[in-house]
Structure 1
Amino acid sequence: MQSQTIAPKKSSIVATCAILIVGALAPMLDSTMANIAVNSITQSLHTSVNSVQWVVTSYVLALGIVVPIAGWAIDWITGKQLYLWALVGFFVGSVISGLSSTITMLIIGRVIQGAASGIIIPTISTLVVRAAEGKNLGYLMSVVGLPMVLMPILGPTIGGLIIDQLNWHWIFYINIPIVLISLVILTIWLPKFTPNRKGKRLDVPSIALFTGLFTGLILAITKFSDSIKFWQSSVLWPLGIGISCLILYIAYALVFPKRALVSLNLFKTKTFSAASILLLMSGITLNGAMFLLPLYFQNIKNLSVIWAGIYLIPQGIGMLLTRTQVGKITDHIGARWVVITGILIAAISTLPFAFAGADTNKWLLLGCLLIRGTGVGAFTIPIMSDSYTGLKPQQIPEATSATRMFQNIGSAFGSAILATVMTHQMTGQTPTIAHLAGAYNTAFAWSIVITLIALIPAWFLSVKRHKKV
């Protein structure tokens, strides 16, 4: 009996892509739906913004750390089996999150959700490539990529509608029927995708050291806002653990270069080093601001949770507008000037939020968000493409896992840093609208400054010079 092949017939490739997308709908929505629920969760669980930011941070941190594991697993486990088990994990995380009555339980649920998403999202791209056998990838990636962009844009609006009609628990309960239907569809129709059983084996020490590094640093940031003073054991212990894990990883990668998850040789390439730094920093620009904006619209502009979600749509539209052209422009002139332009647009369009108050004109803010979206949309694609410039073919899979990990972990840092800034600003202050507005203004100002600092690594991205005829 003939086993299933790695790729189905050409006529069913688009159907396979559609099936893969159905399975990822809930994880893609959840990547931003929780942002709109932060205010409701803070009030419901009687906790602080700094604690609730872990609902967002833990999700993207777990997602980022698990991405390299997905890159390994797809070579050793059938694609169908990997996808199904990841969806089951997302189901479990959604149930725990929905049932949560404490912030600790909710964070545990979000970690499980994030880990599952860290397998699902990158697996889609890999399986599409295998299904198509390398043909018509531009068209197929655009088919798969569109919902990957649209779902996070629609997430806050859909989440706002759910919370307004029900409560925040339902942004997690809603995943349950979606995942169950997806599991049935995937079980029946998704091809097997036999693994090639080649490539690096999973390096557990690398995963452990990266987990300690990034978790330690983020814990230090959040504990700093709790203790107010830097020289406190609650800050220094996680900071020390994070730095120790970094030193140990460098030593480990030098001694065992073939085992290490991210080879130090990758950083010998100027563009990869610059792209990695930019991906970490872009998380503050994009995800950090996405954490702040729903809170700002609800707490300062006094918008309902639905309208707070709707107000975020212009930024998503701006991202879509530039996404269609930014790849072509990058191919023509290189990444440097595209990214620098995007950074400047994002910084300038965020500036009004550093001065905005309760009476600031809403059309000004909506216009700024639309322009901001066009700037942010010029970040990821040029940076990701430039990370491969100058690399050898055998380094590309490793670079792919590394850049995806840096991008998601940067998002975790973004939420943690800006929540810490806000908490510091409100320490000892009466939570009036004026004081809250001042705290948001300062957090947005930090976002602008960090965005502008990104101009330094952006200068080291590639630039293409065309010879005059």
Structure 2
Amino acid sequence: MNSGDFMKTQMNTRHMLQIALFLVIGAIAPLLDTTMTNVALDTIMKSMAVSVNDVQWVTTSYVLALGIAVPIAGWATNWFDGKRIYLWALIVFLIGSLVSSFSTTLPILIIGRIIQGAGAGIIVPLITTLVVQASGGTGLGKIMAVVGLPVVLIPILGPSIGGFLIDTLSWHWIFLVNVPLVIIAWVLLSWKLPAFPAPRTGKHLDFPSLITLAGLFTSAIIGITRFSTGDHFFSAKVLTPILLAITFLIGYVVYASLRPKQALVSLKLFKSPTFDASAIILMLSGIAVNGAMFLLPLYLQNSRGLTVIWSGAYLIAQGVGLLVARGEIGKLTDAIGARWVVLVAIVIAIAGTLPFVFFTAHTSTWLVLLALFVRGIGQGGLTIPVMADSYTGVPKELVAEATTATRMLQNIGGAVGTAILATVIQHELPSTGMNAAYQTAFMWSVGFIAITAVPAWFLSHRKPVSISASEKAE
């Protein structure tokens, strides 16, 4: 390479890093909002005089909308300019933040959260898509490091920032703070971000698939939450949405079989044992990991009596554990395959979650922080290698659909996990008391983590073959 080519490469890399940085700035508010909201749930619950089962919809509705919006992002980038999509998604998130911040009733807050989730569900996956599109797949190491930075740092900083805003101002400010962040990002991106012309290829958005999957997940979660209100499983209130969810599931399978080219997620994906295992693990880990993220701030504030700002400070330990894991998990997965990494991560995640089954209000702070740190390490090992391994054995033409499916399942798992753990707490509180109710909920979380060992055994146990390498082999 001559000096001219070298300088050109350096300039291209610098330009790509700038684009990645601008895209990341746009994602700060959605990523920050997710972690701040978790520490605010107890305050919102008391402010609005609602139950745990009711307040969980603040998180569940957001994550559900996030999961449903993911395929919309994939379709939109194929048919519309990426910059315009990103800017419109920021506006949607801004509207949701304003509705949430000025809400005085739970239904209005949930509507705001759904709007926020729809915007965030397009913004977050769009970052990776646009970075890869702009770079042409070259020099992605440094660029993805920039993209991954807020994903690592914000879970560490978010709870503390949220706790500070709630303690010094009010819970409304965890949503209102998004307004200046989004406006600054929107102006900067409008000015500096280049256009991303659409390739205008690929599938059109299949509305029957989207509506069927949305109906499936929403009905299932409604059935779970209604069970917590005291109705038995076979009551009409519980059984109706559950049967409706089963109907939607059967309907999607029939539709995807009859129209495989139109369906949002091809059933051919599930012919790969590795993808099947990855899909199940992502769903279960979403239930266990994200469900516990809903649970932990409530436990710290109610059972241990911490203030909002201190509960946020405690959760830094979990974020640090995730940061430590992130640095090594990728290397281990490349070296020995996903199976053993995930199995060890399951043991670590259980070791970090099981102590909460036995903790009391008087347990040493250092033990709680240590458990959170260990749990963070296990959390990183459960998600990172599974996402990578989900593409093993998947045909090239189905890679985009595999991405859509895995992201949807992880988000929907989080929504289901939140609903289940809220249901457990609501059931246990009247008969066992607060501390015992949270201990039971943590036991459920441990159970979901342990179950993931079964599908984990079907993950690859060799160094994964990249898509590009498999293409060359052909």
| TM-score, normalization by structure 2 | 0.94
Q: In structure 1, how many angstroms separate the alpha carbons of the residues matched to 2:430 and 2:79?
A: 51
2:458 matched to which residue of 1? 460
Inter-CA distance 465–93: structure 2 relative to 1 (3 Å threshold): closer
Following TM superposition, the consecutive aligned residue runs of length 4 or more in structure 1 with deviations greater than 3 angstroms are 8-11
Q: In structure 1, how many angstroms separate the alpha carbons of the residues matched to 2:263 and 2:274?
A: 21
2:8 matched to which residue of 1? none
Percent identity over paired residues = 54
Structure 1 position 381 matched with structure 2 position 379: no
Is 2:334–2:463's contact at 8 Å kept on the other side of the alignment? no
Is 1:34–1:159's contact at 8 Å kept on the other side of the alignment? yes
Is 2:335–2:463's contact at 8 Å kept on the other side of the alignment? no
1:303 matched to which residue of 2? 306
Inter-CA distance 190–270: structure 2 relative to 1 (3 Å threshold): same
Kindly tell me the number of residue pairs found equivalent between the two proteins.
454
Q: Deviations over 1:127-150 (max 9, x none)?
A: 111121211112111111111221
Deviation at 1:355, TM superposition (A): 1.1
| Paired residues for 1:11-410 under 5 Å | 11-410=14-413
Deviation at 1:465, TM superposition (A): 8.0
In the alignment, residue 462 of structure 2 is paired with which amino acid? K
Give the RMSD, CA atoms, in angstroms: 1.3
Is 1:228–1:424's contact at 8 Å kept on the other side of the alignment? no
SS at match of 1:226: coil
Q: Deviations over 1:2-53 (max 9, x none)?
A: xxxxxx9543111111111111110010121110000000011110111000
Q: Deviations over 1:368-402 (max 9, x none)?
A: 11111111110111101111001111111110111
Deviation at 1:227, TM superposition (A): 2.9
Deviation at 1:360, TM superposition (A): 1.0
In the alignment, residue 172 of structure 1 is paired with which amino acid? F
Unaligned residue ranges in structure 1 (runs of 5+): 1-7, 430-434
In the alignment, residue 235 of structure 1 is paired with which amino acid? V
In the alignment, residue 116 of structure 2 is paired with which amino acid? Q
2:443 matched to which residue of 1? 445
Is 1:30–1:152's contact at 8 Å kept on the other side of the alignment? no
Q: In structure 1, how many angstroms separate the alpha carbons of the residues matched to 2:296 and 2:180?
A: 29
In the alignment, residue 253 of structure 1 is paired with which amino acid? A
Deviation at 1:427, TM superposition (A): 3.2
1:432 matched to which residue of 2? none
Q: In structure 1, how many angstroms separate the alpha carbons of the residues matched to 2:231 and 2:453?
A: 30
Is 2:45–2:51's contact at 8 Å kept on the other side of the alignment? yes
Is 1:275–1:457's contact at 8 Å kept on the other side of the alignment? yes
Q: Deviations over 1:199-254 (max 9, x none)?
A: 11100000000000000001100000013411111111111111100000000000
Q: Deviations over 1:92-114 (max 9, x none)?
A: 00000001111000000000000
| TM-score, normalization by structure 1 | 0.95
2:7 matched to which residue of 1? none
